[in-house]
Chain A
Amino acid sequence: DIVMTQTPLSSPVTLGQPASISCKSSQSLVHSDGNTYLSWLQQRPGQPPRLLIYKISNRFSGVPDRFSGSGAGTYFTLKISRVEAEDVGVYYCMQLTQFPWTFGQGTKVEIK
């Protein structure tokens, strides 16, 4: 199974400041079709998960442009350009390149 490792596991940030989360996979996430199926999800407190980013850097419908994804191969990053109060929650990276699909441990973003 592909192991996904996120850092940090906790990220206290100041409102209006940037935040960054890293995700490393135990093997390349490049699929045989040439795509890299790495997604980022947000889970606000008491809410279901919500897809933010798919295929490394594509924002899902309705996702604010302060969220961006980057990376390649085995190393990926989610950046929030200016953190807002509604961004508090746990963020997960997820690989869909190979079954079983696997998640990172989650990174808790909270306001300082």
Chain B
Amino acid sequence: EVQLVESGGGLVQPGRSLRLSCTASGFTFGDYAMSWFRQAPGKGLEWVGFIRSKTYGGTTEYAASVKGRFTISRDDSKSIASLQMNSLKSEDTGVYYCSMDVWGQGTTVTVSS
């Protein structure tokens, strides 16, 4: 069974950093691109970023709202995709999901002083 489990969320002050992880199982992780999405409280879905598989260079794409602050990486040996979030703002608050068609349950990030 394909499964994605996000972790690493929590309460963080504005300007600080947080690293989210997405641990995959049930499929050959290295063959797939991985995406991150988020959902602010009571709002719709927003795409955050994307990392291609190594076959396609492992390159990344980001939403304008996070470009330069967030970095997506992958460790195919551990089947983990990561989202490094720096210079966090209150508007980054929400539930963060990883996905490769199947979605994880999400991890909550709250940016507040």
Cβ 8 A contact of B103, one of A50, A54, A101, A105: A50
**Would you list which residues of chain A between 75 and 110 have a CB under 8 Å from chain B?**
90, 92, 94, 99-106
Contact count band on B: 10 to 19
Looking across the interface, which residue of chain A has its beta carbon closest to that of B102? A51
Q: Smallest distance from the beta carbon of B4 to chain A beta carbons, Å? A: 9
User: Does B97 touch A at the CB level, under 8 Å?
Assistant: yes
Are B103 and A60 within 8 A (Cβ)?
Answer: no
With both beta carbons as reference points, the residue of chain A lying nearest to B46 in the complex is identified as A103
B57 CB, min distance to chain A CBs, angstroms: 15
CA distance A41 to B99 in the complex (A): 12
Contacts of A50 in B (CB 8 A): 103
Please give, as numbers and ranges, the residues of chain B lying within 8 Å of A54 by CB-CB distance.
Answer: 101
For the complex, is B11 an interface residue (Cβ under 8 Å from A)? no
Q: Which residue on chain A has the smallest CB distance to residue B37?
A: A49
Q: Which chain B residues border A100 with CB–CB below 8 Å?
A: 47, 61, 63-64
Q: Please name all residues of chain B whose beta carbon is closer than 8 Å to the beta carbon of A99 when the two chains form the complex.
A: 50, 61
Q: Does A34 contact B (CB under 8 A)?
A: no
A103 to B105, CA, bound (A): 19
Asked if B45 and A94 sit within 8 Å, CB to CB, the answer is yes
Interface residues of B in 39-64 (CB under 8 A from A): 44-47, 50, 61, 63-64
Smallest Cβ-Cβ distance to A50: which chain B residue: B103
B94 within 8 A of A: no
Least distance between B85 CB and chain A CB atoms (Å): 17
B50 CB contacts on chain A under 8 angstroms? 99, 101
Interface residues of B in 57-113 (CB under 8 A from A): 61, 63-64, 95, 97, 99, 101-106
Q: List 22 A-B contacts (CB under 8 A).
A: A48-B104, A48-B105, A49-B97, A49-B99, A49-B103, A50-B103, A51-B99, A51-B101, A51-B103, A92-B44, A92-B45, A99-B50, A99-B61, A100-B47, A100-B63, A100-B64, A101-B35, A101-B50, A102-B47, A103-B44, A103-B46, A105-B44
7 further contact pairs, Cβ within 8 A, besides A48-B104, A92-B45:
A41-B45, A49-B45, A49-B97, A99-B50, A101-B47, A103-B47, A106-B45
